[in-house]
Amino acid sequence: MGQKTADPRAASAPAAPLTQRQEARRLGILAATTRLASRGGFDAVQMRAVAESSNVALGTLYRYFPSKIHLLVATMQDQLEQLHETLRKRPPTEADPAARVAGTLMRAFRAMQREPHLADAMVRALTFADRSVSAEVDAVSRLTTAIIVDAMGLPVPPGPEQLSVVRVIEHTWHSALITWLSGRASIAQVKIDIETVCGLIGRR
């Protein structure tokens, strides 16, 4: 009676396998979301509009993504995966680990500047998410961590102290992004903040 079988994508791995059609639908929804978000930001991503724009019924949209927040967090995950891919192909070249991390984050930041509305939608969703989205937000967080750890060029299993530093960098990254998106900090200030926090790297 209760469960209507598994959602088509509970967290990431151990969910229903998704047929081709379903995967295509999912991607279509994410594409529509990106499109709408790139225009009007968070507010423009209206569930009815997403459904229409991706040729899917509202109920179906909600079956794939149980809330607007889930949808936008999934979009962020999508974008981050692309970024991670790009970064793997052309990794940062700076000599100093701290500079590599700062450079990587600034690259990501520049990508956000190109699509500020999209960035707005994704970041607002990320920080507004409550416990019901924690699994998905966690996935995004792991991705971000991976990107930073890669940039640091750490030996595979980083120690707990290094992980703390990475977490603090991630905190600063998110929060600085928010202050920029809400117009309370300039691009230059975000840069300074990122560089400042990267000063934590390579110290004990």
Contacting positions for its own copies (CB under 8 A): 42, 124, 127-131, 133-134, 137-138, 141, 161, 164-165, 167-168, 170-172, 174-176, 178-179, 182-184, 189, 192-193, 196-197, 199-200, 203-204
- Which residue, 41 or 92, has its beta carbon nearer to DNA? 41
Q: How far is the CB of 135 from DNA (least distance, A)?
A: 16
Q: Are 188 and 137 in contact (CB under 8 A)?
A: no
From the CB of 31, what's the least distance to DNA, in Å? 15
Residue 149: name the closest of 100, 78, 192, 203 by CA: 100
- Specify the residue, 20 or 93, whose C-beta has the smaller distance to DNA: 20
Closest approach, Cβ 142 to its own copies, in A, equals: 11
Rounded to an integer, what distance in angstroms lies between the CA atom of residue 116 and that of residue 141? 20
Binding residues for DNA (CB under 7 A): 4-6, 8, 16, 19, 21-22, 25, 43, 45-48, 55-60, 62-64, 66-69
Q: Which does 168 bind (CB under 5 to 8 A by kind): DNA, its own copies, none?
A: its own copies
Burial label for 62, CB within 10 Å (0-12, 13-18, 19+), is middle
Report which secondary-structure segment, H or E, holds 117: helix 116-128
Residue with smaller CB distance to DNA, 4 or 184: 4
200 binds, among its own copies, DNA, none (CB under 5 to 8 A by kind): its own copies
Q: Which helix (H) or strand (E) holds 189?
A: helix 187-198
- Residue 43: phi, psi to the nearest 5? -70, -30
Name which of 5 and 93 has its Cβ closer to DNA: 5
Q: How far is the CB of 112 from its own copies (least distance, A)?
A: 16
* Cα distance between residue 187 and residue 164, in whole Å: 26
Least Å distance, CB 1 to DNA, is 11
Nearer to DNA, 4 or 203 (CB): 4
Between CA 33 and CA 111, with CA 91 as vertex, the angle to 5 degrees is 30
Largest CA distance in the chain: 60
